[in-house]
Structure 1
Amino acid sequence: MKKIILIGKTGSGKTTLCQNIHGELMEYKKTQAIDTLENAIDTPGEYIENRFYYKALIVTAADADIIGLVQDCTEEDSFFPPSFGSVFPKPVIGIITKTDLAKDNEDILRSEQYLKMAGAENIFAISSIEEKGVEELKEYLRNPI
């Protein structure tokens, strides 16, 4: 399985997704520092929320095979600048999280637009709680296109 770095706002579901990918018990845990796992790198949300930390994301991404931009579909805003993914010389995918909490399809479409503007090539809509879309993401990590 390819190693993915997850980048997204605080509370967007990055840690829960990491736990799900690795078959761990899903429980809330605030990521205080970069956490490297077997197949994923979990980053603190503050790293995308504060431009000062962009360098840390770029350097840490060197250890990943795939860049995962994570957007919570319940958020009306995005912290990803346009073409943010272009700073990484690796495949960039978008991951829409918390689809089980979407008010309607517009929430998911808005998140998809944010991720496309940020440079995501493939987009996965998932719900770690309901296990929707997670298997497709895992399959992509096993066999990226």
Structure 2
Amino acid sequence: MDEKKKKRIILIGRSMSGKTTLCQYMDNKELKYHKTQTIQIFNDFVIDTPGEYLERGSLRGALTVTAVEADLIVLVQEADEEGTMFPPGYSSTFAKPCIGIVTKSDLADERKIEYCEKCLKMAGAKEVFVTSSYTGSGFEELMDFLEKFSEK
């Protein structure tokens, strides 16, 4: 009996970018603020990482090590963020497929959302999904993608 291993994703982004809220939304849990202090795994599927691991250069190695357990890199950026933490080509650090998610799209205008999409694509995201946990928009496309990715 060869049971297929469930594919995992890792969420990487700044503090307060919406990574944990994404986990709660995808898991159909009540949305409530929770500061992620350590790496957490939701349903043996989503690896949620603290934003400080990206924000502090001395901790970035923890992302590289943890990403070994993931099959898909997910770069998360909130729509109203000024600038980006992801340099061009950042996803090449992991040598795995990469997508981007723009969160909190209900808080930004189209220009800011397009800027975030551009930043995520420059960082190496092959596809970018624009979501809002508040309105629920964008999740159908994201979940469809993740389901198809898991079937590969």
User: TM-score higher than 0.5 here?
Assistant: yes
Please give the range of the TM-score, normalised by the shorter of the 2 chains. over 0.9
Unaligned runs of 5+ in 2: 1-5
Which structure has the larger Rg over C-alpha atoms? Answer: 2
How many residue pairs get aligned? The number is 144
Q: Return the letter of the residue paired with 1:97.
A: T
1:27 alignment counterpart: 32
Helix, strand or coil for the counterpart of 2:73?
Answer: strand
Is residue 2:134 matched to residue 1:129? Answer: yes
Instruction: Kindly report which structure 2 residues correspond to 1:1-145, keeping only aligned pairs within 5 A, or say none.
Output: 2-38=7-43, 39-102=45-108, 104-144=109-149
Following TM superposition, by how much is the alpha carbon of 1:137 offset from its aligned partner in structure 2, in angstroms?
Answer: 0.9
TM-score (norm 2): 0.91
Q: 1:2 offset after TM fit, Å? A: 3.3
The CA RMSD over aligned residues, in Å, is 1.2
Residue pair 1:94, 1:122 contacting (<8 A) in 2 also: yes
Q: Percent identity?
A: 50
Q: Secondary structure at the match of 2:75?
A: strand
**Unaligned runs of at least 5 residues, structure 1:** none
The 4+ residue runs of structure 1 with deviation greater than 3 A are: none
Structure 1 length normalisation: TM-score? 0.95
Q: Distance in 2 between matches of 1:4 and 1:140?
A: 12
Contact (CA 8 Å) 1:3, 1:141: kept in 2 or not?
Answer: no
2:3 alignment partner in structure 1: none
Of structures 1 and 2, the one scoring higher in RCO (CA 8 A, sep 6+) is 1
Measure, in 2, the Cα distance between the counterparts of 1:137 and 1:69: 13
